[in-house]
Chain A
Amino acid sequence: MEELIRLSHGDGGKYTSILINELFYKYFGNEILLKGSDSAVFSISKRKLAFSTDSFVVKPLFFPGGDIGKLAVCGTINDLSVSGAKPLYLSAGFIIEEGFSISDLSKIVRSMGQICKETGAMIITGDTKVVEKGDMDGLCINTAGIGVVENSYMPKKIKKGDRIIITGSIAEHGTAIALERYKIKASGTFASDCGPVYNIIRSLAPFYKGIKLMRDPTRGGVATALNEISASAGKGIRIYENTLPIRREVNAVCSILGLDPLYLASEGRVILVADPGMSQEILECIRSCKDGENSSIIGSFFDNGNSLVYMETEAGGRRLLNTLEFPMLPRIC
């Protein structure tokens, strides 16, 4: 195979076939995909379905702990998982800039296949387009996915006193991206938390009746996700700074660059809203799962007729947490 993507790789002809066979089929290979039909055809017995889509244009394409491909697959798998669904089938659409390195594309596609193997989800259909050099920046991936809703998980009305739980330490993905972008070296094994959350959510099945909501804190971080939850519940949220699980490396990078971990993305964590009576058991259950060791109850809902999010700080004061309005950039001031 050649080294660089050319326009002919996207025109549906001979070179597209080569790309499909030698790259996508190689790493995604499954019965449905390998049929090579225009549409993937499959049956699902009379079950409630969940359907989600997401597009990814992250820069840099490769970061400690992952790449745009892993992010794209986990993104859709996790959106399905937090809706209480088991992810089954995905599509993957690629828009590639002419001149893109095929070796890089290969690494990205391989890591997508890896996540599928780990989770049992399958990429069963896809598309590739190539645009002229300069018309876009590198690579964009869209994934869409279908899952089957299991165990009758249903979001429920949030009440005053409901607890907020995070399944692990926060802001690791955003920090990993910042490390790459601003060329700061991390000693040790610090990496993005990008990964599937399905196993943790499945383990919580016995507690679904007490789980009111599940949300993954991606773009905009935990603070933005909490604002969205507060707005839709019409109730206020209070969290406690001393309960937030934040790794030392995250604090270090944020101090150096002037970023705020509350607004940096996590890509392998879930925010849960839970009945106060069940929160402790739910916490223990998550902590016994892989990647759930740092789970913590970080706050609760209050009702003063307003939706706002604030944090009780370690100094004993209060800090308002608004939604992130603009992408956070490093500061010197």
Chain B
Amino acid sequence: MCLAVPGIIVSIDRAWAQVDVMGILNAVNVLLIDEPAVGDCVLIHAGCAIQKISSDNLSYLSNILSEFLIKEEKNG
């Protein structure tokens, strides 16, 4: 129930933003998030920004889990 993609806000005109998703400009409604700004990374679902994205989750996970795996390897 949750198909959503990240994108970067390129411009805002009141309720609508042009959001760059991998090179495609998607018109996205920003009324569901607080104080959207150009440069914000947002999560887009069915034409609406539903949350701001704070950082790159993949690098966050990579760091956490690399440590976890290295620790396990040492213990294992």
Whether A248 lies near B3 (C-beta < 8 A) is no
- Nearest-neighbour CB distance to chain B for A26, whole angstroms, equals 37
A255 to B27, CA, bound (A): 15
> What's the Cα separation between A186 and B44 when bound, in Å?
16
Instruction: Classify chain B's interface size.
Output: 10 to 19
The count of A-to-B residue pairs whose CB atoms sit within 8 angstroms is 46
User: Please, which residues of chain A bring their CB within 8 A of the CB of B3?
Assistant: 258, 331-333
Residues of A within 8 A of B20 (CB): 187
Interface status of A253 (Cβ within 8 A of chain B): yes
A256 and B27 CA atoms in complex are apart in Å by 11
B5 at the interface (CB under 8 A from A): yes
8 Å CB contacts to B: which residues of A49-96? none
A185 and B27 form a contact (CB under 8 A) = yes
- Tell me whether B25 is interfacial, beta carbon within 8 Å: yes
User: Which residues in A have their C-beta under 8 angstroms from that of B21?
Assistant: 252, 255-256
CA distance A253 to B23 in the complex (A): 9
B-contact bits for A291-308, CB 8 A (1 contact / 0 none): 000000000000000000
- By a CB distance below 8 angstroms, the chain B residues around A190 are 24
> Within the assembled complex, what's the spacing in Å between the Cα atoms of A184 and B27?
7
Q: How far is the CA of A251 from the CA of B5 in the complex (A)?
A: 11
Task: Decide: A253 and B46 in contact? CB cutoff 8 A.
Answer: no
| Structural contact, A252 and B1, CB atoms closer than 8 A | no
1/0 per residue, CB under 8 A from B, across A161-191: the answer is 0000000000000000000000111111010
Question: Other CB < 8 Å A-B pairs besides A184-B25, A249-B22, A256-B26, 15 of them?
Answer: A183-B27, A185-B25, A185-B26, A187-B24, A187-B25, A248-B22, A249-B23, A249-B24, A252-B21, A255-B21, A256-B21, A331-B3, A332-B45, A332-B46, A333-B3
Residues of chain A whose beta carbon lies under 8 Å from any beta carbon of chain B = 183-188, 190, 248-249, 251-253, 255-256, 258, 331-333
Query: Would you list 17 pairs from A and B whose C-beta atoms are within 8 A, ordered by A residue?
Result: A184-B27, A185-B24, A187-B23, A187-B24, A187-B25, A190-B24, A248-B23, A249-B22, A252-B21, A252-B24, A256-B5, A256-B21, A256-B24, A331-B3, A332-B45, A333-B1, A333-B2
